[in-house]
Amino acid sequence: MSATPHEAAKALADGALILLPTETVYGLGADAGAPEAVAAIFAAKGRPRFNPLISHVADAEMAADIGVFDAAAQALAQAFWPGPLTLVTPIRDAGRVCDLARAGLDSVAIRVPAHPAAKAVLAAFGGPVVAPSANRSGRPSPTTFADAVEETGFAVAAAVDGGPCRVGLESTVVSALDGRVALLRPGAVTREQIEAVIGPLADDGEGRRSPGRLALHYAPDAPVRIEATAAAPDEILLGFGPGVGETRWSLSPTGDLSQAAANLFRLLREADRQKPAAIAVSPIPGAGLGEAINDRLRRAAGFVG
Ligand code: TXA
Ligand code: MG
């Protein structure tokens, strides 16, 4: 069933879509420079076209070919690539990342993933690959091969099985534009880790102006109730910490945030398949990775983050 990285690179060169495993979540990939292929991503996901895509590249040199890196962007790239950080910089080469991929902006979001299969596909293809999370728009991101195939497998010519995603939450999106660094989407690299490299981030108000951060997002079909301390008999409780709810449904029985991040989308999907009256989720601490977990949960519950 699984395509090889070379088959996936060939499909990209032919203008087709692929399923691309990364350490965060599975992506739905296309050649960033091919407008028709990029249009097929928006169609398959049902994604609004004003929401720009992330360009994935094999290494920092390729990143510097498409974006303009100031000192802060260079420091962050050095510290966190390859890995779950996306940097938004001014666009350098608009030919290699088409207007549709950038939603017409004069900036570009760039990421160098760490997953070995992603690296192999990107090295074999040799150019930027746009890849939003492989879910249909508004739904939880897929973190297993089976979930990715179920969401958007119908649209691809090659699907690469990279196993379950180690991190399980999307990359952190940081912009470095006009000498100002801002956190646009909390994610797998924490605010604390970023501030340890470049100092205090600009205020968050910016985050709400980032395109595509819709309130109802990452949502299963069942309603999601956050900060829950108990569940009704027809609800499922996703617990956190020792002795909270059933172990099978626990985000982390030991109260470990990395484990909770890795389990979050998979358990939301599994709980949804049981068709409960609601999915109740225990309170999650807000520091470190907790910021990104709570961001996704608030959006799954329909609150503006
Ligand atoms: O972990 C991830 O980032 C995954 C994997 C597949 O790499 N990808 C992902 O892509 O989550 P997506 O499309 O679901 O999220 C991309 C985010 C959106 O919030 C979008 O608005 C933002 O990045 N973005 C992309 N280009 C931007 C730009 N030029 N300026 C500001 N935000 C941008
Ligand atoms: Mg997404």
Which tens digit of pLDDT belongs to each residue from 273-288? 999 999 999 999 999 9
| Distance between CA atoms of residues 190 and 108, nearest Å | 21
For domain 224-300, give the CATH superfamily. Threonylcarbamoyl-AMP synthase, C-terminal domain (3.40.50.11030)
Please provide the average confidence, as pLDDT, over all residues in the chain.
94
The model's confidence at residue 36, banded by pLDDT at 50, 70 and 90, is very high
Strands, E, within the chain: which ranges?
A: 18-20, 27-31, 54-56, 85-90, 107-111, 129-130, 158-159, 172-177, 180-185, 224-225, 235-238, 278-281
Give me the residue label for tokens 């990143």.
63
pLDDT at 246 over 50: yes
pLDDT of 50 reads 87
The Å distance, Cα 117 to ligand 2 centre, comes to 20
Per-residue model confidence as pLDDT tens digits over 167-206: 999 999 999 999 999 999 999 999 999 999 999 998 655 4
% helix / strand / coil in the chain, to the nearest 5?
Answer: 35, 15, 50
Per-residue model confidence as pLDDT tens digits over 112-127: 999 999 999 999 999 9
The Å distance, Cα 135 to ligand 2 centre, comes to 7
The letter for the amino acid at 283 is P
| Distance between CA atoms of residues 53 and 42, nearest Å | 10
The letter for the amino acid at 263 is N
The model's confidence at residue 212, banded by pLDDT at 50, 70 and 90, is low
pLDDT of 93 reads 85
How many Cβ atoms from other residues are within 10 Å of residue 48's Cβ?
Answer: 12
Cβ atoms of 53 and 131 within 8 Å: the answer is yes
Ligand 1 pocket by C-beta < 6 Å: which residues? 22, 24-25, 27, 51-54, 84, 86, 88, 102, 105, 107-109, 111, 131-133, 170-171, 173, 184-185, 210-213
pLDDT at 301 over 50: yes
pLDDT at 9 over 70: yes
- What atom of ligand 1 comes closest to residue 131's alpha carbon? 6
pLDDT at 225 over 50: yes
Q: Does domain 5-209 have CATH number 3.90.870.10?
A: yes
How many Cβ atoms from other residues are within 10 Å of residue 262's Cβ?
Answer: 22
- Average the pLDDT over each of 147-161, 228-242, 245-259, 290-304 and give the range with the smallest value: 290-304
Q: Tell me the H-state helices in 167-224.
A: 191-198, 205-209
pLDDT of 216 reads 67
Q: Which two tokens stand for residue 188?
A: 């797998």
| Distance between CA atoms of residues 235 and 243, nearest Å | 18
Percent of the chain with pLDDT over 90: 89
Q: Where do the structural domains in the chain lie, given as residue ranges?
A: 5-209, 224-300
Same fold, 5-209 and 224-300: no
pLDDT at 33 over 50: yes
| Distance between CA atoms of residues 72 and 175, nearest Å | 10
Give me the residue label for tokens 């981030």.
201
Residue among 53, 108, 264 whose CB has most ligand 1 atoms within 8 A, to mutate: 53
The Å distance, Cα 4 to ligand 1 centre, comes to 25
The model's confidence at residue 211, banded by pLDDT at 50, 70 and 90, is low
pLDDT of 303 reads 76
